Amino acid sequence: MKELELVKQQALKMFNKKGLLASSCCPSFVDYVKKQFPKILGNVSENLSPMAEIARCIKEKTPDCKIIFIGPCTAKKMEFQDPSVRPYIDGVITFEELQALFDSKDIDITQLPDDVLDNASYYGRIFARSGGLSDAVRQGLKERGENGEDGESGGFELKAVVCDGIEACRTALLQLSKNVLPGNFI
């Protein structure tokens, strides 16, 4: 199983366990829930984020390796300090910091050879976009023989509430806290 597929499977397990779930992929989102909606924290997935889950998998296979996460979000630096994540990640830098490192070493990445990135499925690569994890969970349900859309298989229906931005998250979390969320997965 490819490492990114592992994250999808973990999300499915947690969804089945809780039935009503808010994703834990984004550390800023989880922090926001803790501060603004602590009563619904139990509905946030207990899984590690994709960053930490993949790093854990890699460290299990190659314990002496060093893992540096490179991404656009500074919230990953906060997540990196979490005791449940710290054993798996050796460092976190932003794209801007990586570019500064390249510049300081006079590395022009446009002159480096291209390589194919084919180590993940479509659903494993789309987690970072709005609705990406919802799409991956829906696909995982279909792969398991559950419809995930209309409840025809196993009596289960995935009703994803896709949020893009803090206001959409606030609205969905407020609805969840009032038990009027028009879905079962944020």
> Do 158 and 21 form a contact (C-beta atoms < 8 A)?
no
Pairing of strands 91-94, 68-71: parallel
Q: Which residue has the higher pLDDT, 48 or 93?
A: 93
Q: Per-residue confidence at 135, pLDDT binned at 50, 70, 90? A: confident
Structure tokens at 30: 């989880």
Q: Count of residues for the chain?
A: 186
Q: Which helix (H) or strand (E) holds 71?
A: strand 68-71
Structure tokens at 58: 């890699």
Tens of pLDDT, residue by residue over 18-47, are: 777 888 788 888 899 999 999 999 888 877
Beta-carbon contacts of 125 under 8 Å, excluding residues fewer than 6 positions away, are: 4
Residue 22, classed as helix, strand or coil, is strand
| Closest among 9, 37, 5 to 22, alpha carbons compared | 37
Q: Per-residue confidence at 152, pLDDT binned at 50, 70, 90? A: very low
| Closest among 96, 113, 116, 112 to 104, alpha carbons compared | 96
Beta-carbon contacts of 164 under 8 Å, excluding residues fewer than 6 positions away, are: 130, 131
Average pLDDT over residues 98-123: 87
User: What are the residue ranges spanned by the domains of the chain?
Assistant: 3-177
pLDDT above 90 covers what percent of the chain? 44
Q: What is the pLDDT of residue 72?
A: 86
Q: Which residue has the higher pLDDT, 106 or 25?
A: 106
C-alpha to C-alpha distance for 19 and 75, rounded to whole angstroms: 27
C-alpha to C-alpha distance for 121 and 126, rounded to whole angstroms: 9
